[in-house]
Structure 1
Amino acid sequence: MSTTGVASVEAPTDAPAPYRWRWPALFVILAAEVMDLLDAMVTTIAGPSMRADLGGGAATLQWLTAAYTLSMAVGLVTGGRLGDIHGRRTMFLVGAAGFTVGSLLCAVSVTPGMLITARVLQGVFGAVMLPQGLGMIKEMFPPQESQKAFGMFGPVMGLSAVCGPVLAGWLVDADFFGTGWRMIFLINLPLGAAAVLGALRFLPRTRSGSAPRLDIPGMLLVSLAALLVIFPLVQGREYDWPWWTFAMMAASLVVFVLFGRYESRRSAAGHDPLVVPSLFRKRGFVGGLVLGLVFFSTMQGFMLVFTLYTQIGLGYAPLKAGLVMVPWSGGMIVGFGIAQGVARFGRAVLQAGTLVMALGVFGVWLTLQTAGSGVGPWHFVPSLLVAGIGMGLLMAPFFDIVLAAVDPHETGSASGTMTAIQQLGGAFGVALLGTVFFGLLGGGIATAVDHRADDLRAQLSAAHVAPAVQDRVIADLRACASDRATAKDPAATVPSCARLQRDTRSAVTSPEAAARIPGALEATVSSAFRGGFGSVMKTVLWIVDGMLVVTFLLAFLLPRHARPEETPGH
């Protein structure tokens, strides 16, 4: 109701009072955010333990993360519209309950396929739950309090980033009640129940005055386009890159074009499009989309590959691997804080963060180069801290600067699209960098065995193994180490390893040789694993830095500054 022309003494009577339970409601919304943030990263730490228990190949490790982020990406925009149609409180309850059920299904999964399907279910319901919270905050809080409410997201995100990997590692290592990795999902049950009960008690019943119609065909098209590129990237290596993997990736471009044309026609007909077509005529927004896709691919892909390197390559337990990532997460919080103090520099802060992060990633490469196979957790602290600070500097102004390129009436569609790109970029990065990592791994470990062949040959000679037998054993060891690292089923005995066992038995000619040869082979394999994983990790780090350079250059397409009135509620 307008108060124009009304006496000042009557203003308080006409102005609606703030929602009574707005602060308890905010904590319910933040609890949902915490569940999502934790579940987005826990499988990165617990993935090797899940694979060891359930089986599956390298693609399983990638799908555990990609399935969640991909399903969330394609559901986020539609999730927001469902709140406009059916009420934000109702859809929050549906999303929280479904997310909790999905967590239970993850915890009781007995096959990789069942677990991945449950992760998809989590992502879908997470996409229904999360958009409702931001909309309700705007409705519940008066303007003078909304900044404070939105400001609580930063600390919560930072705390979750620090605690998530550590919590996941601790729960897996603690093995409460024999649950192992399953506890990282079971812990969501009390959190989800609290979110549902809190929502029933504290969240307001609201509904948009002009509810848009769902764009189901648009949602199906963009889902298909995303799947056509993610699936062949993840599975292609295990199928030895058949022609249809490349055909699927080419088809994804065609479907994206069809999606764009359909959205334009839908908008011209006066219907509500999934994405407002006029956004793609704005250089700043399109640049932000591409930049977001590249950057979030870089970030998620790096986190997956680095965690696999520490757990599988260096043999760290899940808790130890989670603790290694604490400097990265802590640096991100520091970066967010610095960004608030230098926000007036706008786009320059984002670009400076990109360069600082690239410097930190180069520091990780330098650490591996200088420490070699003897690298330990403390060696990574300085470089990961710097990389985290850079990431915080980059992320803090990103959404506000990109949204400065759009008109006010496009902000809702643009925000949903940018958030979806964040999730889609994560899925793409996990697929791309994970595929590169595992694709190089077999050759990297084989090369590492070659580098240690002379030392092994000397030990075999000391055990009186004939030169011809030495050659055969070393060739078998090279094949076995490479095949074991890239095996689809890590629990199965690969043929090359069975051949190594036979040739090793034939090489034993005395009790002394029986005592020395197995130890020499095991020491060589262990050293080659660390060295091979390290060399492949260094190659991936160069790719990561290259992607950050691309991010830096793409930032020139963005507006120089964010709109001063924009609220940082992303």
Structure 2
Amino acid sequence: MDAVLEHAAEQRTPYRWRWVALFVILTVEVMDLLDALVTNIAGPAIRAELGGSISLIQWLGAAYTLAMAIGLLTGGRLGDIFGRRRLFLIGATGFTLASLGCGLAQTPGQLIAGRAVQGLFGAVMLPQGLGMIKQMFTPAEQAKAFGAFGPVMGLSSVGGPILAGWLVEADFFGSGWRMIFFINLPLGLFAVLGALKFLPEFKSERAPRLDWLGVALAAAGAFLLLFPLVQGRELGWPTWCFVLLAAGLVVFGLFAIYESRRERRGLDPLVTPSLFRKRAFSGGLAVGMVFFAALIGTGLIFTFYLQIGLGYSPLQAGLTTLPQALGTVAGFVAAGSGLSERFGRKLLLTGTGVMMAGTAGFMLTVWLAGSSITPWRLIPALVLIGAGMGLAMAPFFNIVLAGVDTEETGSAAGALTSVQQLGGAFGIAVLGTIFFALLPGQVTSHVDDSSAELRSVLTTAGVPGDQQLETGRGLRACLRDRVAEDDPDVTPPSCQASSPGGPELQAYAGQQVRAGFQDATILTTGVSFLLLALAFGLSFLLPRRARPES
């Protein structure tokens, strides 16, 4: 389909195949949403097969979101220069091939690289679809077209974790976790063929110049900050980790100076510097960074708690997240029924407040239930978290963009989307690091608090009274080192010494580890609660109402 849509404000004739084209665009949206969700559920199974440290699970999400955050800064502009249909095809093809590469990966490094490539190609294809919708549909129809994204996001959030768990456990053709990436092959093929047949071409009359140095500075700054946050704990926080963190801040400072100079010279900056002088935009960036760091990071911690701490299977873990996903759908539906337009910023504040209530309820439930926790007990808290998320996310972008000038909307929207992804990457890095830093201390604390129970267990196991103190110390050290070990396949030296066995002692050890995971989850979720509280406060910097649709 070689039809070319001219970029003219007066062009209002709707494109003949626009609704079919929308279905093609929504297909790649599903691919992106699924890939953003599935590795949390499949992460433990992936690490078990490929080996590597526990940080592999963090990198599976961080590599994807970081690459997409950087790519989104230029993805839309590439479409303006080379044509949106062409870039959509390149992005969809590259994303599909990268998914194949992820499914065939034999080492952790290969898989992480594949995830980064997925993120880059995702950043190429996603903005093109949004741009084409504005060209294919009349202003009256655009609300319906963009409204289709809400249900798709909701259904993907419901089905993604469950699909991932089912595919891992079903083990089709012996593929195990690899099928979560292979599932993109038919979707990607459909998207490519559909784009060739039904998507129109569109180029901007004034193609902006690409700011490659700005992209390089932004990418370098983000990586310098992210890498030590993920790897620092595993490496023992050497001095160079802190040097990298400081260097990352310096690079971002250079990025700001360079962009300002570029604008003064009349060149196209990557992000319009004047935007940062607007309270609404700067506040929106801060809210987006903090909010999505809490949201995405907490999802990873929940996976650790369910699969590693409680021993749930991938499918059980996926089903446990279902109430939150359904709550998200309900929140989006409620916001789309007119609440966003009517309440504006108040709805964003309400949604964030509901998320905080759900987060507090989750911590309280885990603390009160202890080892008797069940998915059923978590339902009320998870529904609140999901509903609040839907209510808060629905009006967010429109409210922030209401505070910028019309000609700055494109640059502002690109920066906001990038910050959303970047916040997710930092949430994974920071909350994951906090969780595993807390875990050994929580386990040993429970061993110390249950010394009387341990003596009883050792007596049952036949350990003489004069040896119980030393044996207890050895068990304490073993459990501490076991949960602190970055590679779960490695047996710490403290666990290699001969020690009494028996089902009673094994049950006791498992109980203390689960209790440690429980407390580490509560404390790390408390950090998420503080991040949400910060996002709530920063939201008062935003405009009261979204910009009316033209």
**Per the shorter chain, which TM-score range?**
over 0.9
Letter in 2 for 1:529: V
Letter in 1 for 2:532: L
1:4 matched to which residue of 2? none
Q: Please state if 1:374 is matched with 2:372.
A: yes
User: 538-547 vs 159-168, which deviates more?
Assistant: 538-547
Alpha-carbon offset, residue 338 of structure 1:
2.2
**Counterpart contact for 2:366–2:522, Cα < 8 Å:** yes
2:39 matched to which residue of 1? 43
**Counterpart contact for 1:58–1:438, Cα < 8 Å:** no
- Equivalent residue of 2:201, what SS? coil
* Deviation sequence 1:523-560 (CA, Å, 0-9, x none): 01211121110011111121111111111110111111
* Deviation sequence 1:338-383 (CA, Å, 0-9, x none): 2233221111111111111000000001101211111011110000
- Equivalent residue of 2:485, what SS? coil
Alpha-carbon offset, residue 443 of structure 1:
1.2
**Counterpart contact for 1:449–1:524, Cα < 8 Å:** no
Q: Percent identity?
A: 58
**Counterpart contact for 1:452–1:524, Cα < 8 Å:** no
Partners of 2:25 and 2:462 lie apart in 1 by 70
Relative distance call for 1:478 and 1:26 in structure 2 (3 A) is: same
Structure 1 unaligned segments of length 5 or more: list them.
Answer: 1-13, 505-516
Partners of 1:468 and 1:331 lie apart in 2 by 56
Partners of 1:71 and 1:163 lie apart in 2 by 24
Letter in 2 for 1:194: F
Partners of 2:140 and 2:369 lie apart in 1 by 53
Q: Please state if 1:136 is matched with 2:127.
A: no
Equivalent of residue 79 in structure 2, options 77, 83, 99: 83
1:439 matched to which residue of 2? 437
Letter in 2 for 1:563: R
Letter in 2 for 1:427: A
Partners of 1:302 and 1:53 lie apart in 2 by 24
Partners of 1:33 and 1:547 lie apart in 2 by 28
Partners of 1:21 and 1:68 lie apart in 2 by 32
* Deviation sequence 1:381-417 (CA, Å, 0-9, x none): 0000011111111111110000001000000000000
1:397 matched to which residue of 2? 395
Partners of 1:463 and 1:279 lie apart in 2 by 68
Equivalent of residue 506 in structure 2, options 517, 522, 527: 522
Structure 2 unaligned segments of length 5 or more: list them.
Answer: 1-9
* Deviation sequence 1:98-123 (CA, Å, 0-9, x none): 10111011111111111101100100
2:314 matched to which residue of 1? 318
Q: Please state if 1:550 is matched with 2:534.
A: yes
1:116-515 → structure 2 map (5 Å cutoff)? 116-340=112-336, 341-343=338-340, 344-499=342-497, 502-504=498-500
Partners of 2:452 and 2:221 lie apart in 1 by 51
Partners of 1:441 and 1:537 lie apart in 2 by 9
Relative distance call for 1:308 and 1:75 in structure 2 (3 A) is: same
Alpha-carbon offset, residue 15 of structure 1:
6.7
- Equivalent residue of 1:213, what SS? coil
User: 456-465 vs 92-101, which deviates more?
Assistant: 456-465
TM-score, normalising length: structure 1: 0.93
* Deviation sequence 1:302-321 (CA, Å, 0-9, x none): 00001110000010000110
1:509 matched to which residue of 2? none
2:5 matched to which residue of 1? none
- Equivalent residue of 2:234, what SS? coil
**Counterpart contact for 1:442–1:482, Cα < 8 Å:** yes
- Equivalent residue of 1:480, what SS? helix
Number of residue equivalences: 539
Alpha-carbon offset, residue 492 of structure 1:
2.0
**Counterpart contact for 1:472–1:503, Cα < 8 Å:** no
Give the aligned CA root-mean-square deviation in angstroms.
1.2
Partners of 2:458 and 2:266 lie apart in 1 by 79
1:64 matched to which residue of 2? 60
1:107 matched to which residue of 2? 103
Larger CA Rg, structure 1 vs 2: 1
Partners of 1:74 and 1:380 lie apart in 2 by 36
Alpha-carbon offset, residue 488 of structure 1:
2.2
**Counterpart contact for 1:350–1:397, Cα < 8 Å:** yes
Alpha-carbon offset, residue 463 of structure 1:
4.0
* Deviation sequence 1:252-301 (CA, Å, 0-9, x none): 11111111111111111111111111101101100000111000000000
Relative distance call for 1:123 and 1:15 in structure 2 (3 A) is: closer
**Counterpart contact for 1:89–1:132, Cα < 8 Å:** yes
- Equivalent residue of 1:436, what SS? helix
* Deviation sequence 1:2-48 (CA, Å, 0-9, x none): xxxxxxxxxxxx97632111111111100000000000011010000
1:7 matched to which residue of 2? none
User: 279-288 vs 330-339, which deviates more?
Assistant: 330-339
